[in-house]
Amino acid sequence: MLGSLVWLVVAILLADRSPRPAVQAVAVVCAGLSGTTLPDLDLLLPLGHRSGLTHSLLPLALALFATRWRPVMAGLAIGIGLHLAADTFPNAMRGFATVKLPGVGSLGATGSYAWLGMQALAATLAGAVLLAAALPIRLALVTAAALAMVGIAYLFATDGGWPALAVYGAFGWLAIRRRTVRVAS
């Protein structure tokens, strides 16, 4: 978890120090690495595991403070989306695995599945849109490929990662298939 903070600091420093697109792309990947474990920062805070504060889009607000950090927000969103997607597939959605909101408590199994799934989808889509806006298209595609490798490695190694990887793979296949059908028409 502390490693995620190190990756985030590196991403912010890179994004802050150089406007060069290649450096910004590296910042995106560093932020993506950070995002894969950043939501579990709640284990070090008095929030309880699977806090709705850290297992949501809220950490992305950090990058709203400076426009130079938009590439950081793109990578962070994708990384957090990967983490939340894996969290959507626990061995059992009860106790430690459920999402908790301050002052409300546990959302229960159904609420936790909905929370994590919607947040994962929103984070992934936000990250893709921000990535496309932050970098020239070719560099954005190369960076997306690097983030895909980060995602595959993360999802292979984490609990709940295999089903999440299957879902991402299915959506990726559908997107490619849809584009191929549109081009052929």
For all residues of the chain together, what is the average pLDDT?
A: 89
Report pLDDT digits (tens) over 102-160: 888 889 999 999 999 999 999 999 999 999 999 999 999 999 999 999 999 999 998 88
State the amino acid at position 108 in one-letter form: G
Report pLDDT digits (tens) over 49-67: 898 989 998 888 766 766 7
- Residue tagged 């997107």 (tokens): 175
Which residues, other chains included, contact 15 with Cβ-Cβ below 8 Å and sequence gap of 6+? 23, 24, 27, 68, 69, 70, 71, 72
Q: What does the domain layout of the chain look like in residue ranges? A: 2-184
The CA distance from 38 to 182, in Å, is 38
Once rounded to an integer, what is the mean pLDDT over residues 77-82?
95
- Rg of the chain taking only CA atoms, in angstroms: 16
For residue 171, name the pLDDT band (cuts at 50, 70, 90).
confident
Q: What is the pTM of this model?
A: 0.90
